[in-house]
Amino acid sequence: MWTTDEHAGTETVVDADSGAVRATVDLGGEVGNVVYDPAIDRMVVAVQGRGHLAVIDPAGFTVTDRIPTPGCDGPHGEALDAADQVMFVGCETGAAMATVDLAARTVTSQDPVGDTPDVLVYDPGAHRVYVAAESGVVSVFDRRDNNTVTVGAAHLADGAHTLALDPATHHTYFPIPKGAGDGPVLYEFEPTT
């Protein structure tokens, strides 16, 4: 298991069977999310304190590459399109989502999203990206002809900064800490397009 210590700037790897720490990788700045890229057999970590993506060899626990994300202040959340080797990155400070071509090591576009984007999810079957921001705004993008295209954005609810996706049904799920009855609620959405 890979665990992120945001403020310490580390990724700690824990053996799932024994619970023993196998390694800790220092990334040199505050870190965001970590994603496994099966196409290159590497972990990709958003290093928000340094403005880049760190690529880590999961066998040797070493940083093998650093991909700059210019214009993406505070890279934090990530979602991977493994087939096309594109990483979608939430830029916390700039209220933007950067689209990063991993093979070319370049940011190909930036699109506005809600303030403080947190969790991103990519639906490979629908070629759709969801960005949930701490401001409660959810933004939706499609990938068409190697371009990121805005579908829409709206304020869903205060606290709607986490989401999950069912790739079989394409439904999205948003846990909301305080619903209409003052208790937590889970919103489920079916895509309309």
Burial (Cβ within 10 Å: 0-12, 13-18, ≥19) of residue 68? middle
Question: What CATH number does the domain located at 2-189 have?
Answer: 2.130.10.10
Q: Across the beta sheet with 42-47, what order do the strands follow?
A: 34-37, 42-47, 52-57, 62-68
Written as six digits, the tokens of 156 are 């869903």
Give the separation between CA 120 and CA 71, rounded to whole angstroms. Answer: 18
Give the separation between CA 75 and CA 131, rounded to whole angstroms. Answer: 13
pLDDT at 180: 78
Instruction: Determine the Cα angle at 173 with ends 167 and 178, to 5°.
Output: 170
Domain boundaries, the chain: 2-189
How would DSSP label each residue in 119-146?
Answer: EEEEETTTTEEEEEETTSEEEEEEEETT
Tell me: the pLDDT tens digits for 178-193?
877 788 999 999 987 6
Q: What is the mean pLDDT of each run of 10 residues along the chain (193 residues)?
A: 93 95 95 95 94 96 96 95 97 95 96 96 97 96 94 93 95 90 90 76
Q: Which residue has the tokens 């220092």?
A: 26
pLDDT at 140: 97
Q: pTM value? A: 0.94
pLDDT at 192: 77
* Residues 136/157, Cβ–Cβ less than 8 Å: yes
Q: How many residues does the chain have?
A: 193
